[in-house]
Amino acid sequence: MEVIEAKSAGFCFGVARAVKIAQELADSAQTPRMLGSVIHNQRVTEDLARQGMTAISGPEEAQAGDTVLLRAHGVGRAVYEDLKARGASVVDATCPKVAYVQQLVSAAEAEGRQPVMIGDPSHPEVLGVGGWCGNLMVFSGPEEVEQWAQTAENAGGMALTVVSQTTLRRETWESSLKILKKECTNLKIFDTICNATHTRQSEAALLAARVDAMVVVGDPKSANTKHLTEICRLYCSRVFQIENADELPWEGLCGCRVVGLTAGASTPASIIKEVKKTMSEEKIQGEGMENFAELVEQYTNTLNTGEKVTGVVTAITPTEVHVDLGCKQAGYIPVDQLTDDPSVKPEDVVKVGDQVELFVIRVNDVEGYATLSKKKVDAVKVWENIEEACANKEIMEGVVTEENKGGVVVSVKGVRVFVPASQSGLPRDAAMTELVKQHVKLRVTEVNRARRRVVGSIKVVQQEARAAAAAEVWASIEVGKHYTGTVKSMTSYGVFVDIGGVDGMVHITDLSWSRIKHPNEIVAIGDTLEVYVISYDPEKRKISLGVKDRSTNPWQVFMDTYKTGDVASVRVVKLMTFGAFAEVVPGVDGLIHISQIADHRIEKPGDVLSEGQVVDAKITAVDEEKQKISLSIRALLAPTPAPAGEDEE
């Protein structure tokens, strides 16, 4: 029986974070308390109790001076306030993903919208989220959504903000949304299913489809574990949900050739390891022991050059490694046949007791020994891995070792992979030397083992990563949301900023409060900008971004700084036929009429002023309603004496 473990089984980020916080609190606090179970796993709860952390069922049990841990599922706002009022300190282990959902429903209520959650109404996470708004509508699935839409008064016209339980099955979420989109016209939708949950469920489905039986490990109270079990049963007829190795269903697994193993997000790695180890030990016991005659025959068999064998390391010296091959010949691996890296010590490659696969490169029956090679087996395995990665379109990692004609060479597990310049991920005119010594991810696109030729693409991996990042941005984007982006390109009317897989445009008028002629006056390609979303169109895939701080009103800054009669140092920003506009503070311009530029008649403002020039001007009038300012340079100039011979008038 072969046991295949899912890659993403066990703790997710939020659970691992909560358990770490709990363990640190148990070690440091004098009176650590835990409000409910920090996660849905009995063993973790018992371990924390042994460390001195006591559980309380509600905030009313907390006393002044207690340090109270809040569970990963989160709690309502009232719990925080109650604990604070009782003089208890709060340590918040709420999963960041759950905290984000709490913020969304709270913001929805503040906007006058009805918060809606798709999830299990009795689940602690859902109950906690409900404590962040006055009235949270919870639907367990599409059936309840359909019933509400048909019976509720004015359901179609309600302003709804829809979120999901982080561990919800994606099928339940999408089918519920389909009904809401059909019945309701004013929706704000936030897909808050945790990415780790979706990945775990997808892997479980793929694994269940190709095994004889599935074992799902997790606490019975865990929603994540429950959903994993439901998904596995869609693809496999024999699915068993257990809490630990003691519950393994040996009768149910009887006759299975391949068994899949996965675990919920609240299941510690130690329990998963214990289950897998127990299944492996049972497999060994079931196979039985070879009879004595077979063992004698195995021991008396001779080795042949070129044969692949398995042995156990018995001793390590500076020059060779001794191996027991289970036959009459003694085996040894010369250091130069251990690895391709001459700087590595033998004890860094193998340890006494290790079981290793080897090639026989020479047999000396007279002396009774065989010379073996580990690096040849490793080389074959690497090629097999690369061929498999090419077939399965897996992503591999390596280091760029050199620039080659037409591209670069990447060392992947010791194999040279050629990446053409067109697949390097760099711009067409960029130098390939930029990649040398960099750690890169690539996909193998061509393998010719006979010619020892491997071709790969860095660009494909980058494009997929960008597409995944873009999907994440579009799934969570909203007006006012802030991003840290990079300036990718520039035009006369604005700049395009990459906010993580998606480019948005910052119009020149939204770059700065000051009047500028071209974006290159304040930004350059490659600069990092803090931007926020002004508007977006998912259908046209367009995003409008801003950089200006909307919380700062330039007119208010002007009014707080100057008054009529004050003298200001202003910058001429635009010359017109009737006068000149000058910036008083960033974002606020005043007009210097042509008659107020000089103390004598001039034909045009350009005779005296130039754009960019800084001059002193007097504020002669302020129209607060229209937000207009009149400036005068003439008012600051001494009167010019009349020419001799002219009358005073």
Q: Which of 198, 74, 86 is nearest to 136 (CA)?
A: 74
Alpha helices in 394-497 (DSSP H): 458-476
CA dihedral sign of residues 529, 535, 537, 540: negative
**Residue 458 identity (one-letter amino acid):** I
Partners of 397 in the beta sheet? 441
Report the 10 Å Cβ neighbour count for 132. Answer: 23
Token pair recorded at residue 220: 């019975």
**CA–CA gap between residue 173 and residue 171 (Å, rounded):** 5
Q: Which residues contact 119 (CB under 8 A, 6 or more apart)?
A: 125, 126, 138, 140, 164, 165, 168
**What distances in angstroms separate CA 406 from CA 58, 372, 403, 421, 433, one per listed residue?**
68, 39, 8, 6, 12
225, 180 contact by CB (below 8 A): no
Alpha carbons 118 and 180: distance in angstroms, whole number: 11
Q: How far is Cα 15 from Cα 605, in angstroms, rounded to an integer?
A: 69
The pair of structure tokens assigned to 78 is: 């009232």
User: What secondary structure does DSSP assign to 319-353, as a single string?
Assistant: SEEEEE-SSSSEEEEEGGGT-S-TTS-HHHH--TT
Q: Strand pairing of 588-593 and 579-585?
A: antiparallel
Please, are residues 441 and 397 in contact by the beta-carbon 8 Å criterion? Answer: yes
What is the rounded CA–CA span in Å between residue 454 and residue 441? 15
CB atoms near residue 51 (< 10 Å): 13
Q: Are 145 and 178 in contact (CB under 8 A)?
A: no
Q: How many alpha carbons lie under 13 Å from residue 470 in its C-beta half-sphere?
A: 15
Give the span between the Cα atoms of 578 and 581, in whole angstroms: 10
Whether 125 is a known active-site residue: answer yes
Cα–Cα distance for residue pair 602/595, rounded to 1 Å: 8
Q: Which residues have C-beta within 8 Å of that of residue 450, sequence separation ≥ 6?
A: none
First to last CA, the chain: 116
CB atoms within 10 A of CB 393: 11
CB neighbours of residue 535 within 10 Å: 11
114-118 and 137-139 strand pairing: parallel
Check: CB of residue 8 under 8 Å from CB of residue 264.
no
Half-sphere exposure of residue 40, counting CA atoms within 13 Å on the CB side? 23
Backbone torsion region of residue 353, taken as left when φ is above 0, otherwise alpha when ψ lies between -120 and 50, otherwise beta: left
Amino acid identity, residue 432? M
Catalytic residue (one of 60, 109, 111, 125):
125
List active site positions: 125
